[in-house]
Amino acid sequence: MRRAIAFVAVVGLCACTPPETATQGPMSLDEAQRLMQTLAASAGETERHDEDGQANWAGYQLATAGAGLVAIAERQPPRTDNPDLLAAFYLQRGKARRSIGRNQAAVADLELAARHGERARQIDRSEIHWQLYGALATFVSQERGLTELEKALALLPRDDGRGSRLRNPDRGPPRRVHFLAELVFGHARIGQYDKAEQYLAMLTDLGGRAQQRADQQRPAAGRPSLNPVQAAGLRARAILSANRGNYAEAEPLVRELTAVTGLPSRNAAKQMSRLHELLGDILVHLDRTGEAEIEFRRAIDIVAREVNTDPTDVVNAMRSLAVFLRAEGRWREAEALSRRMIELRRQHGGRAEGPVSIPLADVLAAQGRHGEALAIYDRIVRDLQEDAGTFRRFMAINQEWLMSLIEGGRAGEAVARADDAAQKLSVQFGPDHVRSAEMRALAALSRLRSGDVAAGLVGLETELPTVLRESASGRADADNRSTRDRLQAQLIDGLLAALATARPNDPAVAERGFALAQAAAGRSV
């Protein structure tokens, strides 16, 4: 957190300088020295990424705060060969560029920071590789990102730069815990379960050693039932189990975490809210939707009743419930909640467009109100045109948006969007993942509707069997069932219509349609 405050402080200083002034020359050596000293003084206080591996919402908020980040992003490096100063400069500029959506430039800067860091003596090299992990995993390649995260872990000092946190677990877990947990999540996300288990074992061992230290310091009656490191390990185990489809195994682990009391954290309410959201997701996969809804509502209540709560945390918790209601086909409730999210954001001075409007557009699209949905989607796209990073995280792989483009008579636009999304998903999850196959099928449907019947037909015949098979296996997202069902209905209808046009009066077409309908029905039972 201290590092985040230091970074915002530097942003504030730069915000006083008009952007055109900031771009006229290189950073002075004095300023570079102060920056390096600030970063060195806050070494070990790394910013966290969201639990799903993406950059956190704070980056989006900073990106909208004014000219500060833009000024930093346009700075030129100091005229020096000092590797510490250069590493500090490129680390800061890379973070700023990432926050305003200049993702490729951010990756290049962070790679330069890592290169200069190899010769540096004072800069926190693990922080450089942590930031590079976030940029690569989100925008380039999960595997490349995880390689950088492994480097960040290896570069941590024995006491993690925060030895007091290892000796006193009440202050919260050290960076080593965050890095190990993220390695568990990251490898599980791309199906590398053996590696995920290896890092989970390291995390579990770290939790045991932290508990031994806690036992020596005070009696069990005076401390939480789990120390922060053990809690992180238990959460990682639950998420790994859920990623492997072992939802029955994951449920009691999360319930144990929600029962822990006295766990110190500056974000205790937010973390507990996220746990109830996770439990809700698990219960959805177990087809216990009534219990899941209770957990999603509980997640909202936990953050809403906090004194001085961040309204963004409330909106984020509401988003999970809105997605659940839409997936259950309870569109009126989902629409009302989505509008309430926008109202809440406006009341607290936030922008009404951007990601907060996506749930409303999605539920309008789900109801077939494509004109209304596209009007909102178009505003979101315009609002995010200067923030490519946020666009790629929240909009680029949105199936509801792409289906609305197709149904709204803009199939030609949908082709390029779906191709880009399919490539992104293949990088993130692998080409064989059900989400990658669904997006390739959606691209094929877009081609079909835009008049390229031959290419569309080949694509649909290739991808649809994979989509149905993977969905039947249970690997598809349970919280996306409404969208998935409508998508598959559109894909089947599109394929059959194309086959009927290409091969009129062919009885095999009717037989194919019956087989596909049976496959879809069997999957949804």
**pLDDT of amino acid 265:** 60
**pLDDT of amino acid 390:** 64
**pLDDT of amino acid 122:** 83
Question: Which alpha helices (DSSP H) does 348-433 contain, by range?
Answer: 358-366, 370-383, 388-394, 399-407, 411-429
> What residues does each domain of the chain span?
1-140
Number of alpha carbons in the 13 Å side-chain half-sphere of residue 187? 20
Residues whose CB is less than 8 angstroms from the CB of residue 209 and which lie 6 or more positions away in sequence, other chains included: none
Residues of the chain with pLDDT under 50: 1-24, 44, 46-67, 161-172, 222, 523-525
Tell me: the pLDDT tens digits for 455-478?
888 888 888 888 887 766 555 555
**pLDDT of amino acid 319:** 93
Which DSSP category does 496 fall into? H
**pLDDT of amino acid 102:** 76
Among candidates 328, 336, 323, 333, which has minimal Cα distance to 362? 323
The one-letter code for the residue type at 221 is: A
**pLDDT of amino acid 516:** 65
**pLDDT of amino acid 525:** 33
**pLDDT of amino acid 184:** 93
Tell me: the pLDDT tens digits for 69-115?
677 888 888 888 899 889 988 998 898 888 776 778 889 999 999 99
**pLDDT of amino acid 216:** 64
Give the global pTM.
0.75
**pLDDT of amino acid 480:** 63
